Amino acid sequence: MNWDVVLWGILPYVMVAILVGGLVWRYRYDQFGWTTRSSQLYESRLLRIGSPLFHFGILVVIVGHVIGLVIPKAWTEAVGVSEEMYHVVALGLGSVAGIATLVGVGILVYRRRTTGPVFAATTKNDKTMYVVLVAAILAGLSTTLISVFGPHEEVTYRDTVSPWFRSLFWFQPDIASMAEASFAFKLHTLIGMALFIIWPFTRLVHAFTAPVQYLFRPYIVYRSRDGRPVPTSSGRRGWAPIGTPDRERDRGRRRGRSDAGSTTRR
């Protein structure tokens, strides 16, 4: 029971604190690092298939999560959607989107591993992120598959995970409901929370600046000359000498190099 309190009563709030705090911190202090870090320049044949597959897949998955978690069972039943109907649609759409996401991320990981320049540009941070991301997708997809092919459950996630999720917003976490959920759902939820915890510190942050405002802004942007001074030290990011591999960070590299002696061409 203690563990249930920690995992389903405390961890979600810790996760939100880290997610929001991390995003605010990064937005304020690391605008320069806030980018998609696109590798399309290196390779675009596999990217062209993998990236849209993954991104569109995950967008549908997100919508599915919102619907499944936010809308109470009573509401859908009130408008005449039977349990059966709901599940056919949810699982159908969910598995298609989930498999598209998984195949997409699979292509992207394969591309990352096999294309020399892309692999060279992959940081440890990226690798960690990919592990958690793929684990979350796999766990999520397995919950879907278990509910299709596995033993029929009287109590579905709509009676366990969803009420708990909603209760979090009233600061009265319904720990008991979540404790009822099956292992697969618990695992998926935990990995999901892990993903949100690392989110602000990985390249995934680009999702939070999805350029929706582009649809509404004027084409031509005028801006007055900035009065703010810019430090002119050689320590500015993005100013590492030629020959610095992508995965090395500027600062670490500089220190390392000054120890090892100059190896770059002059």
Partner 1 sequence: MRVMAQMGMVMNLDKCIGCHTCSVTCKQAWTNRAGTEYVWFNNVETRPGQGYPRRYEDQEQWRGGWTLNKRGNLKLRTGSRLKRLLTIFSSPVQPKLADYYEPWTYDYRTLTDAPLGDDFPVARPKSLITGEDTKITWSANWDDDLGGVAELGHLDPVVEKVRRESEDKIKFQFEQTFMFYLPRICEHCLNPSCMASCPSGAIYKREEDGIVLVDQDRCRGWRQCITGCPYKKIYFNHRTGKAEKCTLCYPRLEVGLPTVCSETCVGRLRYLGLFLYDADKVTEAAATPDEQDLYEAQLELMLDPNDPEVIAAAREQGIEDEWMDAARRSPVYALAKTYRVALPLHPEYRTMPMVWYIPPLSPIVDLLSEQGHDAENAGTLFGAIEALRIPVEYLAELFTAGDADIVSTVLGKLAAMRAFMRDVALGNEPDESIAEHVGMTGAEIHEMYRLLAIAKYEERYVIPTAHYEQAHELEELGCSLDFDGGPYELDASGPFGEASGRPAPVAVETFHALRDRQTSDGAAAGDDLRGRVNLLNWDGNGAPRGLFPAKRPAEDDPEGGAGR
Alpha helical stretches, state H, 71-182: 73-78, 83-114, 116-120, 124-149, 161-169, 175-180
Is-contact 163 176, C-beta < 8 A? no
Interactions with partner 1, residue window 115-134 (CB under 8 A): 116-117, 120-121
Question: Is 206 marked as a binding-site residue?
Answer: yes
Residue 231's contacts (CB-CB under 8 Å, 6 or more residues apart) are: none
Which is closer to partner 1, CB of 155 or CB of 236? 236
Residue 14 is encoded by which pair of tokens? 């810790």
Task: Please tell me the distance from the alpha carbon of residue 117 to that of residue 115, in angstroms, as a whole number.
Answer: 6
Q: How many binding residues for partner 1 (CB under 8 A)?
A: 67
What's CA 34's distance to the chain center, in Å?
14
Nearest approach, Cβ of residue 162 and partner 1 (Å): 30
Is-contact 158 90, C-beta < 8 A? no
Segment interacting with partner 1, rule: CB under 8 A, options 53-61, 87-95, 149-157, 190-198:
53-61
- DSSP label at 82? -
Contact call for residue 261 and partner 1 (CB under 8 A): no
Residue 35 is encoded by which pair of tokens? 């980018």
Which is closer to partner 1, CB of 79 or CB of 230? 230
Contact call for residue 41 and partner 1 (CB under 8 A): yes
Which amino acid does the sequence have at 84? E
Segment interacting with partner 1, rule: CB under 8 A, options 1-9, 11-19, 47-55, 146-154:
47-55
Segment interacting with partner 1, rule: CB under 8 A, options 29-37, 72-80, 89-97, 141-149:
29-37
Residues of this chain that interact with partner 1 (CB under 8 A) are 29-32, 34-44, 47-48, 51-52, 54-56, 116-117, 120-121, 206, 209, 211-215, 217, 219-225, 227-246, 251, 254, 262-263, 265-266
User: Residues comprising the binding site?
Assistant: 55, 65, 188, 206
